[in-house]
Amino acid sequence: MIVAFLKKGILHEMSYRFAFLLEILSILFFILTFYFITKLFGKVAIPYLESYGGDYFSFVLIGIAFSSYMGVGLGSFSGNLRSEQMMGTLEAMLVTPTRVSTIIFSLSAWNFIYATAEILIYLLLGTLLFGVDISNANIGAAFLILFLTLGSFTGFGIISASFIMILKRGDPVNWILGNVSDFLGGVYFPITILPPFVQVISHLLPITYALRAIRHALLQGYSFKMLLPDILVLVLFCVIVLPLSIFFFKYAVKRTKLEGTLSQY
Amino acid sequence: MIETVNLTKYFYSKKTIIKAVDNVSLEIKKGEVFCLLGPNGAGKTTLLKMLATLILPTSGTAYVNGYDITKDEIGVKSSIGFVGGDERSFYWRLTGRQNLEFYASLYNLFSSQSKERINQLLNLLEVELYADRMFVTYSTGIKQKFSIIRALLHNPAILLVDEPTKSLDPRAASHLRKFIKEKLSREQKETILFVTHQIEEAKELSDRIGIMQKGRFQVCEKKEDLEEILEINHEEEGN
């Protein structure tokens, strides 16, 4: 089943080849921007980035790469649902014996593969062209953190899709997490430079723990034991948010079927 | 094959209750072509979508191929093919064949099975020539034929067809009706519930006709009585 969705995603993407090429170029220019910002201000940042090795470019490269991955977890379910509603293909899928939840998950499979490829491009360009050092990385821990991050953001993503199913446009979960996560979660700067009361809010977001842990794992090679506090918080997010998201999703499907708006947009 | 028991669907807006389907009980036998006739907004599509489990009834229920629409969604969906009137329901930048292969996987058909079935259906609907062209290049008539192929992929016992000729020119519409009557009904022995608002279309296609008006339903046992019933309904509505 998932293979069919992936094949469809690849074929669809290949019909827009030029867009894919532009995407790679965008990544390159985005990286270049931060490379030169680091050249300009990098030394000022060193004291704030000691626990990450002191290099701002490495810090921000990993922040950007992984925040886009989290963005996929958060936005792909609702985005795909809305896009299939708009294209008119959702109804055709919903009359097949495949479960709604399977359809929603499978629709996002291609986005996750695409986002994984993007992360690899970020890391490859960063290490090969711009000297980012991940030779001491704890790869096993990085994968575990990635998996847990995906779990918690997928949970929020499914809640977001549930809102889209009912409201069609304007889901608050995606808006709040999408808009504040980059700022409060420490994508571009360590949250320790934020005022203390703002840092409290930062600690309510999974991205804060995910980014800190992934940077420590990749740039400093922290051991599992050293990463345990952040890993435990991510596990907690998964345990709470995932079951909640399934509950919301089932409610949304039932409500839209009662209202007769399941495939409307 | 299809049985509805006091099937009812009300939609609630702020101050009004819209009785889209009001206490409908009907029975469609195996191999029958049953046309559901009525003006726009009569509740025909709502009834069809309830049978396809896309909308939950307010009360009552229906059995499709023996499966309860409120309790056995997967059983119902495995038994039906749904042909909607919306030509957008395909991926326009993929070819017709790629689209059909994708939907075949949603009907749990394995690759080899689906390839064979798709070729068989492309041949049956005489659209092999178009299969490897991008969907966006098709005429409305060809798009509608691909909708029918998609609905037949898993060899369903029942076809639910929602106004497939509404955007076709008269020649293409006539060709499609002929195909449904001769190939699907007579040769393939499909049970077909066909929704339309065109009287002549209903007469041409159906074994029996059901009339829907403002959510209410009545069966027209003899086609000759159709005009008379519609006239009476029209007068009652006027009063």
Choosing among B51, B106, B160, B162, which should be mutated to test the A contact, i.e. which has the most A CBs within 10 A?
B106
The whole-number pLDDT of residue B182 equals: 85
Higher pLDDT, B159 or B183: B159
- Nearest by CB to residue B94, choosing from A11, A93, A259, is A11
Under an 8 A CB cutoff, do B9 and A260 touch?
A: yes
Q: What is the mean pLDDT of chain B?
A: 88
**pLDDT beyond 60 at B161:** yes
Q: Secondary structure of chain B: what % helix, strand, coil (to 5)? A: 40, 25, 30
Q: Which residues in chain A are closer than 8 Å to B108, comparing Cβ atoms?
A: 1, 97-98
**Looking at the whole model, is its pTM more than 0.90?**
no
Contacts of A164 (CB under 8 A, 6+ apart): A78, A81, A82, A171
Average the pLDDT over B146-165 and give the result: 91
**pLDDT tens-digit readout, A38-49:** 999 888 888 889
Is the pLDDT score of B172 beyond 70? yes
Question: Over pLDDT 90: what percentage of chain A?
Answer: 40
Which residues of chain B from 100 to 119 reach within 8 Å of chain A, CB to CB?
Answer: 101-103, 105-108
Which runs of consecutive H residues, i.e. helices, occur in B20-163?
A: 44-51, 73-79, 96-106, 111-124, 140-152
Instruction: Give the model's pLDDT for residue B183.
Output: 82
With CB atoms and an 8 Å threshold, state whether B74 touches A263: no
Specify which residues B153 forms β-bridges with.
none
Q: Which residue of B has its CA nearest to A103?
A: B106
- Most A CBs within 10 Å: which of B58, B91, B109, B113, as the mutation test of the A interface? B91
Q: What is the mean pLDDT of residues A15-23?
A: 78
Mean pLDDT of A157-162: 90
Q: Is pLDDT above 70 for A230?
A: yes
Residues of chain B in contact with residue A16, where contact means CB-CB under 8 angstroms, are 93
Share of chain B above pLDDT 70, in %: 95
Q: Is B91 on the interface with A (CB under 8 A)?
A: yes
pLDDT (mean) for B12-37: 89
Which residues in chain A (49-78) have CB-CB distances under 8 A to chain B? none
Local confidence band at B238 (pLDDT 50, 70, 90 cut-offs): low
Q: How far does the CA of residue A89 sit from the closest CA of chain B (Å)?
A: 4
Exposed/middle/buried for residue A47 (C-beta within 10 Å: 0-12, 13-18, 19+): exposed
In this prediction, residue B173 carries a pLDDT of 84
Instruction: Starting at the earlier edge strand, list the strands of the sheet with B80-83.
Output: B80-83, B158-162, B191-196, B33-37, B208-213, B216-220
Is pLDDT of B174 > 90? Answer: no
pLDDT of residue B204 exceeding 80: yes
pLDDT for the residue A250: 87
pLDDT tens for B59-113 read: 999 999 999 999 999 999 999 999 987 778 899 989 999 999 999 999 999 888 8
Interchain contact A103–B (C-beta under 8 A)? yes
Region A126-136: mean pLDDT is 90
Q: So what's the pLDDT on residue A187?
A: 92
Q: Is the predicted pLDDT of residue A10 greater than 90, yes or no?
A: no
Predicted confidence at residue B237, as pLDDT, reads: 61
Kindly report, residue by residue over A79-124, the tens digit of the pLDDT: 888 888 888 898 899 899 998 888 888 888 888 888 888 888 889 9
| Contact residues on chain A for B77, CB-CB shorter than 8 A | 95-97
Q: State the residue for tokens 């889901």.
A: A171
Mean pLDDT of the region A210-238: 96
A123: amino acid identity, one letter = L
Q: 10 Å Cβ neighbour count for B176?
A: 20
Contact between B76 and B65 under an 8 Å Cβ cutoff? The reply is yes
Neighbouring residues of A214: CB distance < 8 A, sequence distance ≥ 6? A62, A66, A142, A145, A146, A149
pLDDT of residue B132: 95
Q: Give, in order, the Cα–Cα distances in Å from A265 to each of A191, A253, B178, B217.
A: 39, 14, 34, 29
Task: Categorize the per-residue pLDDT at A208 as very low, low, confident or very high, splitting at 50, 70 and 90.
Answer: very high
- Nearest-by-Cβ selection for A98 from B20, B94, B106: B106
> Does the beta-carbon distance from B55 to A257 stay under 8 Å?
yes
- The average confidence (pLDDT) of chain A is 89
Set of chain B residues whose Cβ sits within 8 Å of the Cβ of A7: 101-102
pLDDT at B233: 67
Question: Phi, psi (5° rounding) for residue B234?
Answer: -65, -45
What pLDDT does residue B167 have?
A: 75
**Is the pLDDT reported for residue B169 higher than 90?**
no
pLDDT of residue B35: 92
Alpha-carbon distance B120 to B80, whole Å? 19
Q: How confident is the model at residue A21 (pLDDT cuts 50, 70, 90)?
A: confident
Q: Give dist(CA B164, CA B81) in Å, integer.
A: 13
Instruction: Inform me whether the C-beta atom of residue B10 falls under 8 Å from chain A C-beta atoms.
Output: no
Minimal C-alpha gap between A260 and chain B (Å): 5
Residues of A in contact with B84 (CB under 8 A): 91-92
* Confidence label for B151 from pLDDT (cuts 50, 70 and 90): very high
A260 contact residues in B (CB cutoff 8 A) = 9, 11, 20, 46, 49, 54-55
